[in-house]
Amino acid sequence: MVLHERTGFPIIRKSDDIFTTINQIQNMIRERAFDIYSNRNSTEGDAMSDWLNAESEVSIGIGLSLDEDENQVIIEGDVTGFLPEEIEVKAQDGVFEIGGMHTEDSSSKKKGVTKTTSKQMNFFRSFTLPDSVDTNKMEVKLKKGKFTAKIPKTSH
């Protein structure tokens, strides 16, 4: 884990390639939707229902808020369970995007039988930013599960 030298907070990746994360999440949803479609009766359900069911199984909802004052835009939310290196953010062309992928694997042995489980959490959110922000000066941090991004406004 990389720490910021001034604040000591973990560094969250600011990525120009956040679409890699988005594409991975969409591929998982697509594969799950196809599984749902393949296993249902052809007279039940429809493609949209399959997709929405798959999306609810693959992605988790996270609460993020965007607040704005005269000096900055602040985006905050609870991303408990995600490590800083599992979160990617991008602010560019008037859009703020955040995505994350987290996998937990565990195993236990009982009476000579090993049980292995895997849990994956994924999310993606985006916000439209006001025109008056300087995304090159965005600061992000994650502390005790609380994500904060501060994007200063430009002076006009």
Whether residue 1 lies inside any domain: the answer is: no
**Domain limits for position 39:** 13-152
CATH number for the domain that contains residue 30: 2.60.40.790
Whether residue 102 lies inside any domain: the answer is: yes
Tally of structural domains, the chain: 1
What is the enclosing helix (H) or strand (E) of 19? helix 19-39
Whether residue 5 lies inside any domain: the answer is: no
* Closest C-alpha to 55, from 20, 21, 30: 30
> Tens digit of pLDDT per residue, the chain (156 long)?
444 454 444 445 555 555 666 777 788 888 888 988 899 887 887 888 888 888 877 777 788 899 999 999 999 999 988 888 888 888 888 889 888 888 888 888 888 888 888 777 888 888 899 989 999 899 998 888 899 999 999 875
Whether residue 135 lies inside any domain: the answer is: yes
Whether residue 3 lies inside any domain: the answer is: no
Q: Residue with structure tokens 């359900």?
A: 45
Query: Global pTM?
Result: 0.65
Whether residue 141 lies inside any domain: the answer is: yes
